[in-house]
Structure 1
Amino acid sequence: MGEGRMTVSPIGSGRPKIDPELAGFGTVVKRFREAADIKQGELAELANVARSYISHVECGRTKCRRDFAERLDATLNAEGQIVEAWDDLLEKIKHVRYPTHFVAFPKAEGSADQLRVYETHLVYGLFQTEAYARVLLVDDDAVATRMRRQGLLSRKPRPLISVVLEESILYRQVGSKEVMRDQLEYLVELSLREGIFLQVAMTAHYRGARASFTIATQADRSEIAYVVKATGGEVTRDPSELTRMSAVMHLLNTKALNTEDSRAYIRKVVEERWS
């Protein structure tokens, strides 16, 4: 149909590669299509394209033109939100203030259907209260950016999120005692939500667990990871590194307190240290 250019995977992969940035836009299209109770084939007829093209747009396998986004927006009565998402696909990364080493990761995070996280020093960014984040970040724009990232916690469906926090994070004071109390109470609240699994790793040696990392798994099971380094961090798709991180995450999930005991432990720290 000539509506866009297919994103092709490396030779030998056997199927088109899903681009996490495009998948973020596709998620918006799919949400409005399902809200309108329209199947992909029906939307394809209304938009005068092949059903497979709608599928590729929703999965992040191709980037449509802006005029096609406008047609989808009108067809699905999205009131400009699909067009806004398309514009965001091209422009947002230029305006949202992420550290240079982090800039490639938020799109993958936003389009992931599973996030696996290990944190050694601070509360996971998506789980931070605004007050906690304000102590860590340099200005209001950076705080606003972090709060926008947290929008995926309210997304339906949201990704499956598994987070392991080292015990020391619960005791490391960031801001006032009130900030810490509210932050830990928020962790308890989050841990009660369906699809969020929060565990506390007690102070110990865990083989291979040397630095914080986040693994974002996409709908096509491809993965990208953000790894904290001494100089800030880096984004990687290297299969061997992802395999090692997955093994470490499995070990941590096995050795850390289970989710129920982790909640009880967090409550205990709130009572004994931050009340």
Structure 2
Amino acid sequence: MHSSDQPESTAEMFGLLLRHFRVLAGLSQDQLGKRIGYSKSQVAMVERGARPPTDVFVQRADEVLRAHGALIVAAPKPPKQTERRNPLPGWFTPFADEEEKAWARHSHENQVMPGLLQTEAYARAVFASHYPTYDDDEIEAKVAARLERQKLLSRRPLPDISFVLEVIVLTRPIGGRRVMKAQLHHLAEVARLRHVRIQLMDPDREDHAALDGPFVLLETDKRQQLAYIEGQGGSFFVTEQPELGNLFGQYGVTRAQAYTPERTLEKIEKMAEEL
């Protein structure tokens, strides 16, 4: 919510209405989240107008809070054409804005090369495999947006950036052998940057702290912390404690369990040569 007492967007107005019905129902953000299948952080972000609610969120909240359709009517409804032209999903835009200014960015990935590390050809292959299928214009727009985000790697002042990758990320030949070979050479170049640390998880480990899946951690230019978690069922932000602190702690343990950046670079170079 902005400093003004008046909401400045339909998302903020919806957030105020959601909070009104939640308080009337005598529920905390955590309690509402558990009843509708979302986290406390997600409920908090919707109430602040920082993230537009999904259709499922709106329908479940309206039912649980007995709003009799009021939340459904008030829910933000962005034009479908605008959404289709935008290469970044609406819910991801606030995160991308913070990422662009971030003082530090850390992530764990277990399936696909992180967007910040992708070559143009690799990114195009990723979007070309998407289901439902993107048309050519959509693919090109999304590739361009992904490459634009990579300016973070060379931004001044230099941010602190780190990645922990599962080995499968480097061995799955997305786009074919030639594309993957170029991707590995590019990865090695980025790994040599002094402000970037890339670590591979030891594939022989029986377990590690990040088995739950991929996530991204940000420390903003205002030294605030934010997490973004991706999953097949949807993606969401984490802004509240203790969940946020747990994720940063989890990442620290994960890095300690992975190969060192130096050993990782050696393995990347060897894999590129052998491909």
Q: Same fold judged by TM-score > 0.5? A: yes
Partner Cα distance (1:207, 1:114) in 2: 21
Give a deviation string over 1:170-223, Cα, whole Å, max 9, x none. 111101111101111111100111210111112231135311111110133211
Cα contact 2:209–2:251 (8 A) shared by 1 = no
- Identify the residue that residue 108 of structure 1 maps to in structure 2: 98
Letter in 2 for 1:118: H
2:210·2:251 contact (CA, 8 Å) conserved in 1?
no
| 3-state DSSP of counterpart to 1:214 | strand
CA distance in 2, matches of 1:218, 1:104: 12
Letter in 2 for 1:150: Q
Picking from 87, 94, 100, the partner of 1:97 is: 87
User: Which residue of 127, 130, 137 corresponds with 2:117?
Assistant: 127
Alignment of 1:1-275 (within 5 A): 96-137=86-127, 138=134, 139-203=139-203, 204=205, 205-272=207-274, 274=275
Q: 1:160 is aligned with what amino acid? A: D
Amino acid corresponding to residue 246 of structure 1 in structure 2: F
1-side partners of 2:242 and 2:199: how far apart? Answer: 25
Asked if the contact 1:101–1:235 (Cα under 8 Å) also holds between the matched residues in 2, the reply is no
CA contact under 8 A between 2:108 and 2:210: conserved in structure 1? Answer: no
Q: CA deviation at 1:144?
A: 0.7
1:102 and 1:235 in contact (8 A); partners too: no
CA distance in structure 2 between the aligned counterparts of 1:117 and 1:180, rounded to whole angstroms: 21
* C-alpha contact 1:102 1:226 (8 A) present in aligned 2: no
| Contact 1:225/1:236, CA 8 A, preserved across alignment | yes
User: How far 1:247 sits from its partner (Å)?
Assistant: 1.5
Structure 2 distance, partners of 1:270, 1:208, is: 26
The DSSP-based 3-state class of the residue aligned with 2:185 is helix
Deviations 1:205-245 (A, max 9, x none): 11353111111101332111110112241122122221121
> What is the alpha-carbon distance in structure 2 between the residues aligned to residue 149 and residue 197 of structure 1?
18
Equivalent pair of 2:163/2:197 in contact (CA under 8 Å): yes
The letter of the residue matching 2:255 is N
Task: Determine the structure 1 residue equivalent to 2:26.
Answer: none
SS class of match (1:105): helix
Q: 1:6 to 1:142 in 2, by over 3 A?
A: same
Q: Partner letter of residue 267 of structure 2?
A: Y
Aligned length: 186
Aligned partners of 1:116 and 1:161 also within 8 Å: yes
The structure-2 alpha-carbon separation of the partners of 1:96 and 1:159, relative to structure 1 and needing over 3 Å to count, comes to farther
Name the CA shift for 1:270/1:250 in 2 (closer, same or farther; >3 Å). Answer: same
Contact 1:101 1:232 in 2 (8 A): no
Superposition CA RMSD, Å: 2.3
> Does the Cα contact within 8 Å between 1:209 and 1:248 map onto a contact in 2?
no
> Residue 242 of structure 2 aligns to a residue in which SS?
helix
- Consecutive unaligned residues in structure 1, runs of 5 or more: 8-92
Partners of 2:85 and 2:239 in 1: CA distance: 25
Q: CA shift at 1:101, angstroms?
A: 4.1
